[in-house]
């Protein structure tokens, strides 16, 4: 689908693409469905929040840590971005260059 200018239309998942592509296809589809349904309900996770989920899916952090990080964000506290950790893992597994 293209816009009136001929450029491709933005997709809900565009901002998460680089993180989601690290997941196996089945898990990626699951997250795409969650994002699509959540978007309709007003859910707009930050890229960092979704990176936390991917880090847990990859076994880099525990789901308990994901919950702790969500709680910290809700309280307005700064939470370290896990993107460098996830990217390092992906490079070491030949998923990023």
Query: Does pLDDT of 95 surpass 70?
Result: yes
Please indicate, yes or no, if residue 4 is contained in any of the structural domains. no
Say how far apart CA 65 and CA 86 lie, in whole Å: 15
Please indicate, yes or no, if residue 8 is contained in any of the structural domains. no
Please indicate, yes or no, if residue 41 is contained in any of the structural domains. yes
Please indicate, yes or no, if residue 54 is contained in any of the structural domains. yes
Tens of pLDDT, residue by residue over 43-94, are 888 899 999 999 999 999 999 999 999 999 999 999 999 999 999 999 999 8
Split into its structural domains, the chain has a count of 1
Please indicate, yes or no, if residue 2 is contained in any of the structural domains. no
Domain that holds residue 84: 14-92
Output the pTM of the full model. 0.80
- pLDDT at position 16 is 86
Using pLDDT thresholds of 50, 70 and 90, give the confidence band for residue 14. Answer: confident
- pLDDT at position 3 is 53
* DSSP structure string for 3-49: -TTSSBPP-TTGGGHHHHTTS-HHHHHHHHHHHHHHHHTT----HHH
Query: Judging by beta carbons within 10 Å of its beta carbon (0-12, 13-18, 19+), is residue 52 exposed, middle or buried?
Result: buried
């Amino acid at each position: 689908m293209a816009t009136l200018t001929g450029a491709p239309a933005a997709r809900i998942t565009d901002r998460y693409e680089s993180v989601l592509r690290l997941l196996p296809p089945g898990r990626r589809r699951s997250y795409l469905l969650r994002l699509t349904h959540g978007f309709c309900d007003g859910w707009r996770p930050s890229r960092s929040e979704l990176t936390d989920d991917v880090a847990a899916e990859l076994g880099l952090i525990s789901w308990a840590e994901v919950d702790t990080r969500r709680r910290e964000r809700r309280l307005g506290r700064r939470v370290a971005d896990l993107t460098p950790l996830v990217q390092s893992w992906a490079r070491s597994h030949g998923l990023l260059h």
